Structure 1
Amino acid sequence: MKLIQLTAITAAVLASTAALAADPVIVIDGNNAVVYEAEPVAVAYQADAGYAYNADAGVLRNTTGAVVGGTKTFFQTVTHPAAISAEVGTLGYGANIGYALNDKTELQAGWAGGDVADLFGGDFDANDVNYEVETDFSNPYLGVQLRPMANWFTVGAGIIVPDNEINVTSNPNGGVYKVDGKQYNADDVGTLKGSLEHRNTLAPYATIGFRPNITNNFGLFGEIGAAYMGKTDAEVSTVGGSNGFIRDENGVVTGETSASVANKAEKELEDENYVEWLPIVKVGATYRF
């Protein structure tokens, strides 16, 4: 009987002190004292599985931890984006990086620029004056790319910070310019040269597109949309014209000078609002990490 009691007491004491590794346990039964050495108990913890990337949905890996995971996690995510892309289109030639917030939402930061005048035809008409166009675009942008159905279909929106240089040079038609409804001898006026600048310092944009995955890492994309660049300010001057009054198409001297004709052409150029709504058409390739 004493042996059974001793066994029960010993088991209870050992259970209550299992977490105290290497601490001795003393059990007293009557006048007898028995010393037991407790064995350390190993406790297993299971780590959180975290976020998983669903390859079938065609989305980027989840980087939400960058927002809530503290400075260290934020730095690691910024220096390790979910994807990088190269693009070419009406905004220019460029690239962007993407960070996925979840399986349907991706943040993008990118830049596109260069000479893209040929994509708009290389020339345009402001009333009756034709102008050749040269461009030097710089369009950094920040946006959100949504996958509303968690597949290849995308909807995008964001802000462009345009710094676009647009230069124009006039092409006389049959040796005359028609400005403000009147025709002037092109040799007397000279060459009309000018520059355009959009008034918007921030240009909102919206797009729709597709982003199919080709492999686990590589994909293609295409987008169409528009950016509102705003109305334009123009500056026009003449090069090589006469210093006096200029003649009309019949050789009759008018009361206009090269400067006054340039001022009228400038107003017509501003009224044209060249690419006030800049069309966005671009294609590219994506590498996903």
Structure 2
Amino acid sequence: MSTAILTGPPAPGSSLDGDLRSLGFHVRWATGAEEARALLDAVPAGERVALVDSRFVGHRHALRLALTDPRFPAAAVPGALAAQPEARPALARALTAAPGAPESADGLAGTLADALDADGVAVHRPALGTLVAAVPADAAAAHEARAAVAAVDDEAVRLRSAVKAHDGFFTTFFISPYSRYIARWCARRGLTPNQVTTASLLTALIAAGCAATGERGGYIAAGVLLLVSFVLDCTDGQLARYALKYSTMGAWLDATFDRAKEYAFYA
């Protein structure tokens, strides 16, 4: 399990502890940088660690974007920072230097993110769009941030972000309007992107078998199944973005299975 270190005193009425646990983090508390450094050293070297300001106000999906994406050594949104094992030495150095460094407007997490950038670790900062992530400076700012959170439909944002911003004309206008809902259906039933990728390949192979019959009905069935395979091929990536289930294996399977499908029809 990954570990999230909450820094600063607990904020009254905050659901941050529960949000982090729901994202798969074991939550620990630290009063400041020195205690956070001690907690960091106690976490096994191969685990991901997140530093989150206890004053953080924002959407759970904003936290998911920054803290659960394994593709980057470090990622941050205002008030929250995640470091993969390869970035943890730089994080430890940043925590050691933090007590003497000026705190950024994004709290200790923002200070550490800037320090990682300066140390040569590229910190990914995901585009949040209408999502909210903030470290309010006072009660009035916290109230305003909570109102902004309540005004945004988190589920609608997740559905929009599941679709690539720039894609082909046919995919954008004829596939994505409904495939994103297939991706959500898969996510709610615990299916993984790799399983959808495999289903796309199997469907394409069945289509190739239908076409190989040389019959009119076989060609019609092959055309329908190829379209289904293409929809599933789009859905696997949308599922990965919707559920934030990225993996190196998934990218390899997607590329390899695409070549296998081309070979099945052109061989």
- TM-score by length of structure 2 reads 0.24
Q: Which has a greater percent of strand?
A: 1
Q: Which has more radius of gyration? A: 1
TM-score under structure 1 normalisation? 0.22
Higher share of residues assigned helix? 2
